[in-house]
Structure 1
Amino acid sequence: MLPDFAPIHLLYLAIAIALEIAANVLMKCSEGFRRKLPAVTAILCALAAFTALSYAIKGIQLSVAYGIWGGVGLIATAIFGITLFGERLRPTGWLGLFLIMAGVVLLKFS
C-alpha cells in the first residue's frame, strides 16, 4: 500500500496528469508545430506538468507517482485521440491499454 502522504500531493499529481494530457492534445492540434499558439501552449503545459509532478513526488514515492502520471496520462490521451480526432485502436492496442491500467493498479498496491 501507499505510505501516508498529504492530500495536496494527490492534487499536484492530478494537476500534472491534466497538464500532460493538455500538452499532448495541443501538440496534435499544432499540426507538427506549424500552428504557433497550440505549439507554444503545449510546451508550456508540458513544463507545468513536470513542475506539478516535482511537487507531487515530495510526498509520493517517485515510482508510484511517475507510474500513475504516465499510465493515466497515456490512457486518457488515447481516449482523447479516439474521441476528438477519430483515431482507432486495434485489439492489440486495447490490450496494451488494459495492461497499462493493470500495471498502475499493481503499482498502487506494491
Structure 2
Amino acid sequence: MNISIKDLSLKMEWIYLFIAATFEIGWAVSLKYTEGFSKLYPTIVMVIFMVLSFYFLSQAVKNLPIGTGYAVWTGTAVIGTAILGVFLFNEPYNIGRVLCIMLIATGIVGLKFISG
C-alpha cells in the first residue's frame, strides 16, 4: 500500500478539522461557565479555545473546500455541544432531538465522502 504526501496532507486536513471542532465544543461549553463573562478564568479559557478553534479551522481549509470545512466544523461542534449540554447542564433530550442530531451527523459523513 503506497501512501503519497498528498494523501497524508488530505488526512491531516481532516485531523485539523476534528481538532478545530473539539476546540469549538470547548469554547461553546466554556461560554456557559463564564456566566455572561462575569467569571474571569472561564472567560480566558473560552477565548483560548476560540482562538485555537479558528487556527485549526484555518489550517484545515487550506486544502478542503470552505463550505465543507465550515459545515463539518460547525456540525461536529453542534453535536458535541448538544451531547455535553445533556450531561453537564442537564439539558433536555428526547427522540426528536436525537433524530435531528443524527441528521446532522449523516450530513457530516456525507460531506466527508463527497469531498474525497
Question: TM-score interval w.r.t. the shorter chain?
Answer: 0.7 to 0.9
RMSD (Å) for aligned C-alpha atoms: 1.8
Structure of greater Rg: 2
Normalising by structure 2, we get a TM-score of 0.81
Instruction: Give yes or no for the alignment of 1:109 onto 2:113.
Output: yes
Match of 2:55 among 36, 51, 58: 51
1:92 positional shift: 2.8
Please name the residue that 1:92 is paired with: 96
Give structure 1 regions of 4+ aligned residues with deviation exceeding 6 angstroms.
Answer: none
**CA displacement 1:44-102 (0-9 Å, x = unmatched):** 21122111100111122212211111111110111111111111124332222122112
Q: For 2:23 and 2:71, how far apart are their aligned partners in 1?
A: 16
Q: Which amino acid aligns with 1:62?
A: I
Q: For 1:81 and 1:38, how far apart are their aligned partners in 2?
A: 16
Please name the residue that 2:24 is paired with: 20
Check 1:10–1:106 CA distance in 2 against 1; reply closer, same or farther (3 A cut): closer
**Structure 1: 5+ residue stretches without partners:** none
Residue 73 of structure 1: SS of its match in structure 2? helix
Match of 2:14 among 7, 10, 17: 10
1:43 positional shift: 1.8
Instruction: Give yes or no for the alignment of 1:62 onto 2:66.
Output: yes
Residue 109 of structure 1: SS of its match in structure 2? helix
Match of 1:36 among 37, 40, 50: 40
Count residues with an aligned counterpart: 108
Q: For 1:49 and 1:62, how far apart are their aligned partners in 2?
A: 15
Q: For 1:25 and 1:102, how far apart are their aligned partners in 2?
A: 23
Contact 1:5 / 1:60 at 8 angstroms: preserved in 2?
Answer: no
Contact 1:5 / 1:59 at 8 angstroms: preserved in 2?
Answer: no
